[in-house]
Amino acid sequence: MSGSSGSAISARNVLLDYLAQREHSLAELRTKALKRLGSDREVEIEEALEALTEEGLQSDERFAESLCRHRMLKGYGPVFLRQALREKGVDKDTQLLVFDALEVDWFDCAQSALRKKFSNPISNSLDRRERLKELQRRMRFLSYRGFPADIVSAVVAADDDA
């Protein structure tokens, strides 16, 4: 690794420090390393990234699975997850691979998030306008959490029937 003196930290060590904390996407690591080490060491950073990927120490697929599982447990839906992965620099092919591997029932996930937020079903004592307002509130919550409209409608309708 060129440019490494005894006092200068190597790009590999910087990247390993980041990976020791949590999984990172390749794009995240590149951005963080360039910010910390400077753009004059870009070649060294790219070589280190390539080596870490070949060694299996960095994997966009593993990162995407980790992020998705973590956020799913917090009640987020597929639209939110895809956006988060896009922002972290994960390519579409990897996203598709991860979503296929997850085998999630998004209806159950949305229903669980709704029940966690709204523990009580919609009261029958509400008048028509208040009931509609409450239904819209619940639909907005699920939409903000990243669930598609068809799932949002089905989950809220099922919750309303209960």
Asked if residues 86 and 119 have their Cβ atoms less than 8 Å apart, the reply is no
- H runs (alpha helix) in 26-120: 26-37, 42-54, 60-73, 78-87, 92-102, 106-117
Nearest to 64 by CA among 27, 32, 35: 27
Q: What percent of the chain has pLDDT over 70?
A: 94
CA separation (Å) from 22 to 15, 61, 107? 11, 14, 29
Minimum mean pLDDT range among 7-11, 15-19, 130-134: 7-11
Question: Per-residue pLDDT tens for 52-107?
Answer: 999 999 999 999 999 999 999 999 999 999 999 999 999 999 999 999 998 899 99
